Amino acid sequence: MSQTTGRPRSIAEMPAQHPSDPTTEAQARGRFFNTGNAFNVQLPPVPDHLFIAEPVAALDPAAPTGLIACDLSQQLACPFPATTPLVLARYARIRAGETLTTEFAASGIICYVISGAGGTDGGPEQVAWNAGDLFVLPGGPPYIHNAVTDAVLWIVTNEPQLAFERLRPPAPGDAPTAIVHFTADEIARQIAFLYDIGRTEEIAGSALIFSAGEQEATRNILPTLTVAMNSLPGGASQRPHIHNAVAVSLIIKGTQCYSVMDGRRKDWAQWATSITPPTAVHSHHNGGNEQAMFLIVQDGGIFYHARAMGFEFAEHPA
């Protein structure tokens, strides 16, 4: 601002402008910005974070039935729970013989069974699940999860996406993806098939991508979310690369494994939830002898639809 007149020296210094003489409430709600001040909103970056305490708490034999959120809403300046701006991950603990009822305002719910056995009831279809299974539920209605043995689920939704636009979950029967169940045995068979066929170095890893009949054309599990089981043989590494989508990963197994994010090493911990920030140059490395496995949820469907995935191989900064 000019010290002598109080007049802005540039349109970049102007505050939001209000209508000069509104005659209705609708007119009074209007605000005006310009090319100098409209694009300088400073949002906190998505952190390179590893949730370790949350899975430890969920897997504690003495833990009660309930949900443990991976919530970074304060760091992200979000007014609603969020792991990343559009994704929320939780651990669900269900003690043997008990039930847990969930009701998420999301378009879909992704569930991976870390341990235990049980079932989920949400209406006309039920899912009987075991350790290593992955299943997807429509968002909106309540679900009753029951455990035959002590169980822990990793649950991921796009609740922050709906909360951001104050949207409601789909009405019953209108969900973009119906209930889908991928058993642990079938997942293992499909991964073995990928390794039997092989790939070239132009393909980024040997990830198994999960989809459904309704989403087959987009290759996604939900319109905005992609889910993949990535694997690395012992001693192998995945080439450094970048993409515009964030990645929220569940570390399933692997010893002496780590990621490199923008030149910084991040060691893995089993059952931890790891965040790969958007546009970070990252690579994954298996320094052990056994195959490493990690389940990845990304908001890639948004970027696919916008034609802005931004994937490319890259080099870590020196």
pLDDT digits 0-9 by tens, 144-193: 999 999 999 999 999 999 999 999 999 999 999 999 999 999 999 999 99
Q: In this predicted structure, what is the pLDDT of residue 203? A: 61
Q: For residue 292, what are the contacts with CB-CB under 8 A and spacing of at least 6?
A: 231, 232, 233, 234, 253, 254, 257, 268, 284, 286
Average pLDDT of the chain is 94
Average pLDDT over residues 92-98: 98
Among residues 153, 313, 172, 170, the alpha carbon closest in space to that of 243 is found at 313
Backbone dihedral region for residue 99 (phi beyond 0: left; psi -120 to 50: alpha; all else: beta) = beta
The number of beta carbons lying within 10 Å of the beta carbon of residue 29 is 10
pLDDT value of position 124: 81
The predicted-structure confidence for 221-245, as pLDDT tens digits, reads as follows 999 999 999 999 999 998 999 999 9
Q: Report residue 13: phi and psi, to 5°.
A: -90, -5
Domains of the chain: 50-313 (2.60.120.10)
pTM of the model: 0.94
Query: What's the mean pLDDT in 107-124?
Result: 95
**pLDDT computed for residue 201 by the predictor:** 65
Q: Which residue has the higher pLDDT, 97 or 237?
A: 97
